[in-house]
Amino acid sequence: MIFEQLFDTKSSTYTYIISSGKGREALIIDPVIEHTNEYIKILKNLDLKLVKVIDTHIHADHITALNELNKRTNCTRIMGEKSKSEVIDLRIKDGETIKVENIEIKSIYTPGHTDCSYCYLMNDRVFTGDTLLINGTGRTDFQSGSPYDAYDSLFNRLLKLPEKTLVFPAHDYNGEKNSTIENEKNNNPRLQVSSKEEYVEIMDNLNLEDPKMMDVAVSANLKGLTLNQIWVETILHLFFK
């Protein structure tokens, strides 16, 4: 199996390129628009055909490459059914399976960070988006987030997965690449709580600043903008703001 974990230093985002083998079909999870050429180059070098591309949720800290990749490769854009994106090709329900040749990826609806957050389970590994991070959890104070829902998603869905399941998050700010459900259950400081109320108390008192690109990124991601459209919007904004 081909499994590439790429990193965007600006937003500390992890992107995953997955395929069953060289010369086969591929899938990308959480791509960042600035790296589109890099993804295309990797796909070309490995003789891969991009067929599907998934965002775990509407991102607030970077613009997704879903739409640029769709324009350039005609891949299918996938998000969970609760996504508010205006341009998604395929909306996946909780528990539904996405197939790329012999690879099967099952969606798990995990609201909390946003109300459109989904995790994706592929055999021994789970792509946790911003729901579960390494030694952290996604903030719940914007984009219809809810610390109550996040607690349920974490404790009643993700932590119920087999303990050896590898955790691959959408971000890491400390150079960690992956973890396990067991490790997060035992060591993640946010998960060492004894009740939902205690978790909500922590999340409601983080007092975080909004991500720098939030307004631009959320709007572009909802509209499904490609690079050219972003340039046009930027120019219009400069002249007519």
Q: Which is nearer to Fe ion, 103 or 119 (CB)?
A: 119
Nearest to 31 by CA among 85, 2, 70: 70
Q: Which is nearer to Fe ion, 17 or 145 (CB)?
A: 145
d(CA 80, CA 118): 6
Q: Which is nearer to Fe ion, 48 or 158 (CB)?
A: 158
Coarse DSSP helix, strand, coil percentages of the chain, rounded to the nearest 5 percent: 30, 30, 40
Q: Which is nearer to Fe ion, 42 or 169 (CB)?
A: 169
CB 150 to Fe ion: min, Å: 12
CB 138 to Fe ion: min, Å: 6
**CB neighbours (10 Å) of residue 67?**
26
CB 32 to Fe ion: min, Å: 12
CB 61 to Fe ion: min, Å: 6
Residues 6+ apart with CB under 8 A from 23: 46, 47, 48
**CB neighbours (10 Å) of residue 130?**
29
Q: Which is nearer to Fe ion, 213 or 227 (CB)?
A: 213
CB 133 to Fe ion: min, Å: 10
State which residue has the least CB distance to Fe ion. Answer: 130
Contact 1, 8 (CB under 8 A): no
CB 57 to Fe ion: min, Å: 6
Nearest to 92 by CA among 83, 101, 84, 103: 83
Q: Which is nearer to Fe ion, 130 or 184 (CB)?
A: 130
Can you name the residues that pair with 163 across neighbouring β-strands? none
Q: Which is nearer to Fe ion, 19 or 85 (CB)?
A: 85
CB 54 to Fe ion: min, Å: 14
Contact 3, 27 (CB under 8 A): no
Diameter of the chain by CA atoms? 54
CA distances 132 to 42, 159, 169, 198, 218, Å, are: 28, 10, 7, 17, 20
Where do contacts with Fe ion occur on this chain (CB under 5 A)? Answer: 130
